[in-house]
Amino acid sequence: MSPVIEIMVRHRLGTFELDASFASAGRLTALFGRSGSGKTSLVNIIGGLIAPAQGRVVVDGKVLVDTQARVFVPKHKRRIGYVFQEARLFPHLSVRQNLLFGRWFSRSDARASSDFPSVLDLLGIGHLLERRPGGLSGGEKQRVAIGRALLANPRLLLMDEPLASLDEARKAEILPYIERLRDEIGVPIVFVSHSVAEVTRLATTLVTLDQGHVTAGGPTAEVMSRLDVAGLSGVAEAGSIIEARIAGHDEDYNLTRLETRAGTLQVSRSAMPTGAPVRVRILASDVLISLGPPVGVSALNILPGTIVGIGARGPTGAVELLIDCGGENLLARLTAKSVDALALAPGSAVYAVIKSVSIEGP
Amino acid sequence: MSGWLSPEEWTAVRLSLIVATTAMLASLPFGLAVAWLLARGRFWGKSILDAVVHLPLIMPPVVTGYLLLIWFGRRGPVGQFLYEYFGIVLSFRWTGAVLASAVMGFPLMVRAIRLSIEAVDRKLEDAAGTLGANRAWVFLVVTLPLCLPGILVGMILCFAKAMGEFGATITFVSNIPGETQTLPSAIYTFTQVPNGDAGAMRLTLISIAISVIALFVSEWLARLVGRRIAVE
């Protein structure tokens, strides 16, 4: 599969230096990093709001920027939809006029991917058409903004932390729509986020940024479990993602059994039907390590595995371990003292005792 | 109404309305362009342009009128050019009164429009750009509608200033009944003749009425537009 997006840029903004390159063929590529890591600058370069000092941007086979060949396609000719953090709806236009804004300017070719009724239906905004943006809730505004970008018939959709300004309830309201967007519409998405939960749930490809540089890139589960990335994602949130399938429900104990490559997991009863694919997230701080098969432990989920990597000791004295459990990567966080006491080293066979598993979505 | 006002007075009222309306409409395109340059432009001499535009606001109106007379009079450099190539005469004509009141009202118009352009959220313009609108379209369908309240205020201010303009007008085009005698000039004339008090009072009342109506119209328009542009 040829990459949907290829980018290689060098740009200076004051004292901040962006020097980033990555390529992605994923349906939803997440740019992930702390605030100030250069995520927004990068999408602004893709969208044409910033002209990079040096570099090349190719989207869907079309060269948008090539400083060597002196190519710079202006933003209104790029056909790149941009959903901003604040919805940026036009206050003097109705929701309908906002949605159709891009239509006035896009040529009539290749509109099949996003006709008006199906976008209304996809985003659940059909009842808002005659209202003005001023009267909409934050979640409604953001959905209209997504629809507006989509109806301009873009070759790529950029989303710059579209959920950051919303409260938890509104986020939960929007997330399923973004999932449908990713799975049902053929437009690839680049999604900026600093939230592990969002990235875990949405991204197919993950690119991590730190201080203007790309630190990792690849399929989400793979990147998430890398030790250097775990440290980067913030002390509290490091963890791993495992692809699973619902194997059945245990009605007596109100539990759901999940089948994974690493073994069976049991979680509290999920509403999803048997056979449905899900992603689960296990926080590194929720994993204990035992050298022998543990007995008399309350934890339901114990997976055998082999240590494949031990990270550097962090500033708080914590050490992160990467454990290979039947092909799935599991991240565990222990104190440096425990690592020494158990004499853990790459190659050690261990049992991972998992205190808590959460289902992150399909 | 024409029974209450003498024909000469009626002529002065009508002339004033024509002069003020023409001055307002004719300076609008220039006002928009200059306001845009001052709000968004980055060029050498921007502060000079700013100062020149504001000059009529600070200078004595008679000075402005005299400068207009020197430049736009029949033998002035600009006036001569206009006459020879376009057959346009400004001095001692109603068109000259339009020019004088437009110059005096211009800084007020530019100020109001400039402030409203500066208040437009550039991020909305960026958003319009990513949706496929080029710069001209962005201006027409985003920037212009969003600064409409400021444009209306600027137009009303310019109109009101033009209605009341006296010093520059009388210096540049004199006080010729039926040609350049606007309301203020007519009131001034009444105060210079015996038994002119009643006429001066009638025209004063009309001046007040026009000002109040202009104020109400601008308030009403601003509210109408403001309701459409509810702040997001």
pLDDT digits (tens, 9 = 90+) for A289-320: 988 888 888 888 999 988 887 877 777 778 88
pLDDT exceeds 50 at position A235? no
Say what the pTM is. Answer: 0.75
Distance CA B71, CA B103 (A): 13
Class of domain B14-182 (CATH, top level): mainly alpha
Query: Phi then psi for A121, rounded to 5 degrees?
Result: -70, -45
User: Residue A7: is its pLDDT beyond 60?
Assistant: yes
Domain A239-361 falls under CATH 3.30.450.40 = no
* Residue extent(s) of CATH 3.40.50.300 domains in chain A: 5-224
Which of the four pLDDT bands, split at 50, 70 and 90, describes residue B92? Answer: confident
Task: Tell me which residues of chain A have a C-beta less than 8 Å from any C-beta of chain B.
Answer: 47-49, 74-82, 84, 86-92, 101-102, 104-106, 132-135, 141, 148-149, 152
Q: Name the DSSP class of B143.
A: I
pLDDT-derived band at A228 (thresholds 50, 70, 90) equals: low
Contact between B232 and A91 using a beta-carbon 8 Å cutoff: yes
In this predicted structure, what is the pLDDT of residue A339? 87
Minimal Cα–Cα distance from B131 to chain A, Å? 5
Which of B131, B145, B232 is nearest residue A101 as measured by Cβ atoms?
Answer: B131
Shortest distance, CA B179 to any CA of chain A (angstroms):
43
Q: Which range in A113-122, A341-350, B37-46 is most confidently predicted, on average pLDDT?
A: B37-46
- Closest residue, chain A, to B225 (C-alpha): A92
Which residue does chain B place closest to A158, by CA atoms?
A: B130
Distances (CA, A) of B74 to A177, B66, B69, B83, B217: 72, 13, 8, 7, 38
Q: How confident is the model at residue A88, as a pLDDT?
A: 92
Shortest CA distance from A86: residue in chain B: B123
- Spell out the residues 6+ positions from residue B220 whose beta carbon is closer than 8 angstroms to its own: none
Residues in chain A closer than 8 A to B145 (CB atoms)? 92
Determine the Cα–Cα distance for residues A94 and B58; give it in Å rounded to an integer.
43
Query: Which whole number is the average pLDDT over A353-359?
Result: 85
Given a cut of 60, whether residue A1 has pLDDT beyond it is no
- Residue B217: the pLDDT is 86
- pLDDT-derived band at B88, boundaries 50, 70, 90: confident
Share of chain A above pLDDT 90, in %: 26
What's the pLDDT score for residue A268? 87
Return the higher-pLDDT residue of B114 and A238.
Answer: B114
* B232 → closest Cβ in A79, A101, A133: A133
- Give contacts of B230 with chain A, Cβ < 8 Å: 91, 132-135
Q: For chain B, which residues make up each domain, given as ranges?
A: 14-182
pLDDT value at B179 more than 80: yes
- Among A207-216, B31-40, B197-206, which is the least confidently predicted range? A207-216
Q: Name the average pLDDT for chain A.
A: 85
Q: Are A217 and A207 in contact (CB under 8 A)?
A: yes
Is the confidence at residue B220, as pLDDT, over 50?
Answer: yes
For B124, the closest chain A residue by CA position comes to: A88
B128, B131, B231 ranked by CB distance to A91: nearest: B231
CATH 2.40.50.100 in chain A, residue ranges: 239-361
Between A210 and A157, where is the model more confident?
A157
B133 close contact with A: CB closer than 8 A: yes
Q: What average pLDDT does the segment B129-158 reach? A: 91
CATH match for A5-224 among 2.60.120.200, 3.40.50.1820, 3.40.50.300, 3.40.50.720: 3.40.50.300
The pLDDT value given to residue B151 = 92
Q: Mean pLDDT over all residues of chain B?
A: 90
> Rounded to 5, what percent of chain A is helix, strand, coil?
25, 35, 35
Distances (CA, A) of A215 to A32, A46, A218, A223, A297: 10, 19, 11, 10, 38
pLDDT the model gives residue B232 = 37
Tens digits of residue pLDDT in A63-90: 999 999 999 999 999 999 999 988 899 9
pLDDT of residue A177 exceeding 70, the answer is yes
- pLDDT of amino acid A362: 64
